[in-house]
Amino acid sequence: MKIPNRLAVVAALCVLSVSACAPNSSPTAAVPTPTLTPTTSTPTPTPVAVVSTPSDPISIDLADGVIHNKLYTAGKVPAVRCSLPRPDLTSKAGMVAYAKVLVACMDKAWAPMVERSDAYLVPPEVFAYSMRHPEATPECLDPPANSDAFYHWSGMTGKICLEWEEFLDADDPVANLIDFEQLVAHEYGHHVQRSVGILTLYNELMRGKSEAGQLEVMRRKELQASCLGAAFLGANKQTFALSGRRLGIWRSIVQHVGDEYSTVRDHGSRKNHGYWTIRAFATTNPASCNTFTAPAKRVS
Ligand SMILES: [Zn+2]
């Protein structure tokens, strides 16, 4: 069976916003610490000696936008109307066409969720690149090695870049298709993270951390992207026919994605990848995806 082989490559799959994945990424703007000016709109006749002045400077904790993002209370991902065409993963054009349909389904499902998180979703674009000729796809420059896809933001929106040749010549076309779908769902998970601000603010969580600490934060981000992808697939399991044998294949795939197949500990173990995805598939709720507050052993 081809899956384990492919999955060895898929392991490092995913992938990150180019800027967000760099362990030593420079911190963004310095955290402002505004001072509070007491506002007394109406004149008080008597001097108020007892009113305490704020003694603590107000600090804006940007990490708060990651840990307490409204996405976690936005409710369940909806099942959306979307009919999938007969998939064609035998050519670049076929893969891009199918991925665009998948992404359109995800746009429909995630847009209201993102709005309930006080943000706005701009649909991402889809591109396919070749590791042999990356320059042919300027939208997907500098693809990471050992990865079947990656997400980044440039211009006005996010871009999902797929290494299309990885999906050619599969021994098991059904498993290949499910693998492709879960990969697109993962990359879309990064787009949701970006849309609600998590991907932008997560650099704050990296600040001042050791290399090991930064890798842990990266794993939290990656496991969350897979978790969000699984929440979508669970909510739309009928559309994707994810039941019976096909669901078994999906479960096997998500339990075989992990750092065991990589040299960098930035995506999480197989066990934890399976934990977050299988749970979110069942709940269909991003509330199940707050990897940023999970104990370290759940994001190892
Ligand atoms: Zn990823």
What confidence tens digit (pLDDT) does each residue in 23-49 have? 223 333 333 333 344 443 444 444 444
Within a domain: 42? no
Find the 49 Cα to ligand 1 centroid distance in Å.
Answer: 56
Find the 222 Cα to ligand 1 centroid distance in Å.
Answer: 5
**123 to 89, 104, 152, 188, 236: CA distances (angstroms):** 22, 8, 13, 10, 19
Residue 69 lies in domain = 9-14+62-299
Within a domain: 48? no
State the pLDDT at residue 177: 97
Contact 229, 277 (CB under 8 A): yes
Within a domain: 55? no
State the pLDDT at residue 59: 60
Within a domain: 43? no
Within a domain: 25? no
Find the 59 Cα to ligand 1 centroid distance in Å.
Answer: 31
Within a domain: 67? yes
Find the 11 Cα to ligand 1 centroid distance in Å.
Answer: 10
Q: Which helix (H) or strand (E) is 36 found in, with range?
A: none
Find the 150 Cα to ligand 1 centroid distance in Å.
Answer: 7
Find the 223 Cα to ligand 1 centroid distance in Å.
Answer: 8
Find the 234 Cα to ligand 1 centroid distance in Å.
Answer: 19
Find the 147 Cα to ligand 1 centroid distance in Å.
Answer: 9
> Could you give the CA distance from residue 224 to residue 219 in angstroms, rounded to a whole number?
8
State the pLDDT at residue 261: 85
Within a domain: 51? no
Contact 4, 256 (CB under 8 A): yes
Find the 208 Cα to ligand 1 centroid distance in Å.
Answer: 23
Count of structural domains, the chain: 1
State the pLDDT at residue 200: 87
The structure tokens listed for 185 are 């769902």
State the pLDDT at residue 43: 43
Residue with tokens 């066409």: 97
Please report, as a single letter, which amino acid is at residue 80: V
Find the 225 Cα to ligand 1 centroid distance in Å.
Answer: 6
Find the 16 Cα to ligand 1 centroid distance in Å.
Answer: 5
Q: Which residues of the chain have pLDDT under 50?
A: 1-52
Q: Which helix (H) or strand (E) is 125 found in, with range?
A: strand 125-129
Contact 7, 257 (CB under 8 A): yes
**251 to 46, 91, 142, 193, 254: CA distances (angstroms):** 70, 26, 31, 23, 5
Query: Using the 8-state DSSP alphabet, how is residue 170 labeled?
Result: -
State the pLDDT at residue 61: 73
State the pLDDT at residue 14: 43
The structure tokens listed for 204 are 């704050």
- Per DSSP, the three-state class of 115 is helix
State the pLDDT at residue 19: 33
> Could you give the CA distance from residue 203 to residue 218 in angstroms, rounded to a whole number?
10
Backbone angles phi and psi of 181, in degrees to 5? -65, -40
Within a domain: 27? no
pTM of structure? 0.82
